[in-house]
Structure 1
Amino acid sequence: MEEQATGKNFDNDISRITEEVLSDGTIETIMRDKIIGGFTDAIDSSFHWGELRKAIEVRVKEVLVPYVERYDMAHYVVKLDEALSQIVEQTALVDNAKILANFRRLMIEPPDKSLSLYQLFKHYCKYVADNVDTDGLEIDFDDGPTYEPVSAIAEVTEDDAPFTSSFKFASLYLYVDGKDGLNFKVRLSRWEHEKDDGYRIRYDMEPSIPGLSHMNDFEVLLCTLSRAGTMLTWDEPCMDEEVYPTAEPEPSFS
């Protein structure tokens, strides 16, 4: 009889607890938590892999990117320029002046969003004329003593991209025969849906503060064009020019 009473009490307890759970909102709370959890998992999954993430990325690019491109950051550049100017004025380090000059040039926005290979090659030829090592060059005395010219060359080579890639790649080589110290390699890339003509300049050099003191004028130009996402265009992928050194031979009185 005692066992039957115990079993009956247990059944009564189960019935009572079940009735309480059904009537006090516990089931609703559990179901609410599970439903919220289901929505959370589904949304997390959508953000990671689904169409929702793609849709948001598209809208961000449509709205945020044009806003950032239009935003005038000149105020911040001026503030940083003022700070660097104070450093130069308060120290005696010669390198600081070069750092400031190169920084100012890097912050100047290129006037055009595209540049022809011919225009860039002209900049390179000027750099070559000013910096070519004249050791070993013959001297021409016909129109006064001048060094013989060197051959500057520009050559674009398109890379073989995988069929699955949405980008095309190319490399621009700028060099002088026999003068390795004047050589440059510039990466170029083009998105298949790009509206503008040409390839975007992607110069690999990332200038650091100490590095700014050692950058030459042409490196600063390449970094500026790369930072601005300038497009490089060309009609012919190769060109060359005979460049006369800016330096003049020392007069000889022997």
Structure 2
Amino acid sequence: MSIEAAIKSVVDEKMNDGTIERLVSENLEKGINSSLEKLLGKYGDITEIIEKKIKEVMVGQLSSYDYSKYIVRLDAMLTEILKRTALDNKKILENFKELMVDRDIPKVVKLSDIFEEWKRHVARKVDTSKLEIDYNDGVAYECVTVTMDVEREEERSWSSSIFKYAKAIFECENDDELNFEIRLCKYREYPWSLSVEIDDSIRSLRYLDDFKIYLLQLKQADVKIEIDEEDLSDEVKPNKEPEASFS
């Protein structure tokens, strides 16, 4: 039997037993499924048409809806929330305002100027409960001693680092809670930059004092630091006034 005759015999046999119809049906089903996946998939043409129609209907319905009754309820609810949380959030709002305000901050800030800002912070916040009262010139709390020292990180002889590091340490002899440390770094011969680890998240804003807000403003403005002084000391008079007692 020739090859042609053998092929014809096999085809006739498969046609008669339904094999050809089954294979055609299976592959046709696969082709249809593949086409539908492309049309109805995430980027399919039909999917885009359906999404467009849904948007048209929903936007129209939502735009024409009367929300006035819900606005009244929302206003009452927000008022009540503000009444309950006003005291807690007042500091957050004040600090947030300070951070967002457009202050005239110079591009370069001297370390001695930061020391002066810290002195004002000490005057406002120092704990006066352990301070003596001075009656010589009116009635006032005794002055507190404050210092600033700069410590430069020594480079190892074998180190090839192109960065230099230092820290400015602010200390109040009468109130350790006010002590603070500022890290400084510089690249090669470029100016010093401020490096402070202060949590400026919304939750933490209520706990930030004026001096930390000031440092965050400097950091946000990307100011450069001039180490014009490395050893400073001074006397600071507390802002708080004592109640006179002449017993």
Match of 1:244 among 234, 237, 240: 237
Question: Structure 1-normalised TM-score?
Answer: 0.60
Letter in 1 for 2:91: K
Task: Give 1:183's aligned residue.
Answer: 179
- CA–CA separation in structure 1 for the residues paired with 2:154 and 2:108: 24
Instruction: Report the Cα offset of residue 89 of structure 1.
Output: 9.8
Instruction: Report the Cα offset of residue 206 of structure 1.
Output: 2.3
- CA–CA separation in structure 2 for the residues paired with 1:178 and 1:186: 20
Alpha carbons 1:161, 1:167 under 8 Å: kept: no
- CA–CA separation in structure 1 for the residues paired with 2:132 and 2:180: 25
Match of 1:169 among 165, 171, 191: 165
Q: Does 1:211 align with 2:204?
A: yes
Instruction: Report the Cα offset of residue 212 of structure 1.
Output: 0.2
Letter in 2 for 1:155: D
Alpha carbons 2:128, 2:141 under 8 Å: kept: yes
Please list the CA deviations of residues 12-46 of structure 1 after superposition, one character each: whole Å capped at 9, or x if unmatched.
Answer: xxxxxxxxxxxxxxxxxxxxxxxxxxxxxxxxxxx
Question: Structure 2-normalised TM-score?
Answer: 0.62
The number of aligned residues is 165
1:252–1:178 CA distance, 2 compared to 1 (3 A): closer
- CA–CA separation in structure 2 for the residues paired with 1:189 and 1:252: 50
Q: Does 1:143 align with 2:137?
A: yes
Task: Give 1:112's aligned residue.
Answer: 106
- CA–CA separation in structure 2 for the residues paired with 1:211 and 1:187: 21
Instruction: Report the Cα offset of residue 193 of structure 1.
Output: 4.7
Instruction: Report the Cα offset of residue 155 of structure 1.
Output: 1.2
Instruction: Report the Cα offset of residue 101 of structure 1.
Output: 1.5
Alpha carbons 2:141, 2:237 under 8 Å: kept: yes
Show the 5 A alignment for 1:1-254: 91-92=82-83, 93=85, 94-108=87-101, 110-162=104-156, 163-194=159-190, 197=191, 199-254=192-247
SS at match of 2:97: helix
- CA–CA separation in structure 1 for the residues paired with 2:82 and 2:203: 15
SS at match of 1:185: strand
- CA–CA separation in structure 2 for the residues paired with 1:245 and 1:168: 36
Pair member with larger Rg: 2
Task: Give 2:40's aligned residue.
Answer: none
Instruction: Report the Cα offset of residue 238 of structure 1.
Output: 1.0
- Percent identity (aligned): 35
Task: Give 1:44's aligned residue.
Answer: none
Unmatched segments (≥5 aa) in structure 1: 1-86
Instruction: Report the Cα offset of residue 235 of structure 1.
Output: 2.5
SS at match of 1:213: helix
